[in-house]
Amino acid sequence: MKVLHIEAGRHLYGGAKQVLYIMDGLARRGVANLLACPNGAHIGAAAGDCATVVELPMGGDADVAMVARLRRVIRAHRPDVVHIHSRRGADLWGGLAARLAGVPCVLSRRVDNPEARWIVTAKYRLFDHVITISEGIRQVLLAEGLAPDKVSCVRSAVDPAPYLRDYDKAAFRAALGIAPDAPVAGMVAQLIPRKGHRHLLATLPAVLAAHPTLQVLIYGRGPLEAELRAAIAAHRLQDKVRLMGFVDDLPAQLGCLDLLVHPADMEGLGVALLQASAARVPIIACRAGGMPEAVVDGENGRLIDVGDVAALGAALIELLDDAALRQRMGEAGRARVLRAFSVDAMCEGNLAVYRRLLEARR
């Protein structure tokens, strides 16, 4: 079997890492992978061991010529299945290219934001099957009219190996100039509005009143960076909140946090939540999208309602007050990730969809 994977992201964030996991697992199962990605995309450099990489211009939703470029790739390499992993025009133009070439096409849906029913009816006609990374996203699509037999949930996964280590929290704090006994909370997300950084900043004055030595580390890049820096300055939080940017050694740092905060307005699942659980870090997240599938309230963290700044502050104070509770939740989180979010299960789920489509064609 040969599968053409289309990933339009330029950076190796959560979604692109999932594509790498899938291609690596498929390659170990004897599948030949072909990856179409933008010129210079980070995933292209990382995928050499598990896929043949074809770089080409991908200009987003307005790049109609992407149809012709992807059709040429399909003609040249003759894949059995096309699997589209992202939006940014890749979904629409990739789906059309596969349809014109007569090749079965699968779309991975990674976000839970709703679409108009007429868009769902028109666009999703291009795809033979849709794979959602959480049951929450699947329910969104069903509510918008997608037929149940056309959409399956195959949850995202995380490779736990980099996080199954002993973390030296004292050395981590010393390297950052943080006091040895200061609690450290973190947030790992693109700097975009829907991730909810504003909710975290809004609740910090109340939390700092109870825990004045708290340090907050915000990991990630994005268009909100300047706005967040201004908000941090406006709230006089420069000594309490640091923008860490994108770090290559996140697995070496994540387990040094005392807790992870993810107050997103919407989230397909949240790979950072799985990574934190693998590193035995308790989590505060929201009851939205697939987050309740990654975080069970009272087991490996706390869930709050979207935008509830008071509840976010209360959850932060509760976990910062109780080291034993944080430890119990951290251990439960690791056990949950190892049990329910394995890379092997994700690869087998995707492969099963491919096989069903090819069998139906035969």
* 31 within 8 A of 2, measured Cβ to Cβ: yes
For residue 12, name the pLDDT band (cuts at 50, 70, 90).
confident
Task: Decide if pLDDT at 257 tops 80.
Answer: yes
**Interval 310-348: pLDDT, tens:** 999 999 999 999 999 999 999 999 999 998 898 999 999
* pTM to 2 decimal places: 0.82
Would you state the CATH architecture of domain 161-340? 3-Layer(aba) Sandwich (3.40)
Task: Decide if pLDDT at 131 tops 80.
Answer: yes
For residues 362 and 344, what is the distance between their CA atoms, to the nearest angstrom?
27
* 84 within 8 A of 95, measured Cβ to Cβ: yes
Tokens in use for 74?
Answer: 């399909």
Mean of pLDDT values over 138-145: 91
Protein fold of 2-157+342-361: Rossmann fold (3.40.50)
For residues 324 and 107, what is the distance between their CA atoms, to the nearest angstrom?
43
Task: Decide if pLDDT at 17 tops 90.
Answer: no
Task: Decide if pLDDT at 183 tops 90.
Answer: yes
Looking at residue 150, its pLDDT comes to 95
Domains 2-157+342-361 and 161-340 share a fold: yes
Task: Decide if pLDDT at 260 tops 90.
Answer: yes
Contacts within 8 Å (CB) and 24+ apart, 245-253: 245/219, 245/220, 245/221, 246/11, 246/219, 246/220, 246/221, 247/219, 250/188, 250/219, 250/275, 251/162, 251/163, 251/165, 251/275, 251/279, 252/162, 252/165, 253/172
For residues 342 and 138, what is the distance between their CA atoms, to the nearest angstrom?
19
**Virtual torsion, Cα 338, 342, 345, 348, nearest 10 deg:** -150
Looking at residue 15, its pLDDT comes to 83
Residue 31 per-residue DSSP state: P
Mean of pLDDT values over 268-279: 93
Residue ranges per structural domain of the chain = 2-157+342-361, 161-340
Amino acid (one-letter) located at 24: D
Task: Decide if pLDDT at 122 tops 90.
Answer: no
**Interval 212-232: pLDDT, tens:** 999 999 999 999 999 999 999
